[in-house]
Amino acid sequence: MLTYRKAATASLLFPPAGIPAMYHSLEAGRLAREGDVEGARTAGGKARDWSWYAVGVGLTVYVIAFLLFILFNNHGAVRVVFFGWSILTNGKAWHSMLKGFWINIQVFFITEIIVLVWALVVAIVRLLPGKACRPIRMLATLYVDIFRGIPAILVVYLVGLGFLQAKVPLVGDLSDNQYVILALSLTYGAYVSEVYRAGIESVHWSQVAAARSLGLSYTQSLRHVVVPQAVRRVIPPLLNDFIGLQKDTAIISVIGVLDVVNRARFINNAKGTLAAYSMAALLFLAVTIPFTRWLEWLQKRSQNRMQGGH
């Protein structure tokens, strides 16, 4: 009965796959009444398979049809505004966008290197033992709480515009690119430090005890035993944070950096369209999608190792 209901629902959802599902469901019922249990099970399995085809293929077809309806409705207004062919095929526009995107890439890589080191320092400071280290632990905790609580765009404004205006010592005369690298490093350093800290705390205390029993100091135990294991464990979540960082480089446009977003704005203003923003989105996707697939591969490999796979 359950298979028949699924098949009936599938036939309504997507008839090309639902009708075969109904046929095999009825066949399963007939064979069951005739006492052919094995044949009924086989037909029931086919009915279930076709029912799931109706769900998977049917929903995909409907989603694609809906998107095409949006693109071509109202004389293709959506297609013209977001995917104007004259802009998407403009070589000069792409050249300008790539120059801007190169700035985003540079900011991303430099910030990532700084965050990897800075966040590890903050995480270790938060885990320093003893009453004597309580003040510095509290300071590190305060830093993490503040920069995890303030939106990144506000940090970019405060650092990129405020430091220059206030002539803050040592950092009051940097370039715009250096300011945004500093702002993003402060923001993501707080997030990534928590990832490091979780990884460090996941290392069993017995390994630290064993290292100390061998004569290693607390610092040596961290360096040779705890931190290497912790870093290996947190690689997937670290990469996930860096995907977010790569996308957040788009906010550097708010302080006037000629990145891909600002260049897209200039092109859009000149052409009266939003197609250049779509071009910028495609450039980000060209980086984030391969990065995401690589992250998934690393996660699967890590899971296989933990389960004793290859």
Domain boundaries, the chain: 2-82, 86-306
Place of tokens 């398979």: 49
Task: Spell out, as residue ranges, where the chain has pLDDT lower than 70.
Answer: 1-7, 10, 208, 218, 302, 306-310
> Tell me, which fold does domain 86-306 have in CATH?
MetI-like fold (1.10.3720)
Given this model, what pLDDT does residue 1 score? Answer: 47
Given this model, what pLDDT does residue 96 score? Answer: 92
Given this model, what pLDDT does residue 288 score? Answer: 87
Given this model, what pLDDT does residue 301 score? Answer: 78
Given this model, what pLDDT does residue 7 score? Answer: 66
CA distance 121 to 274: 43
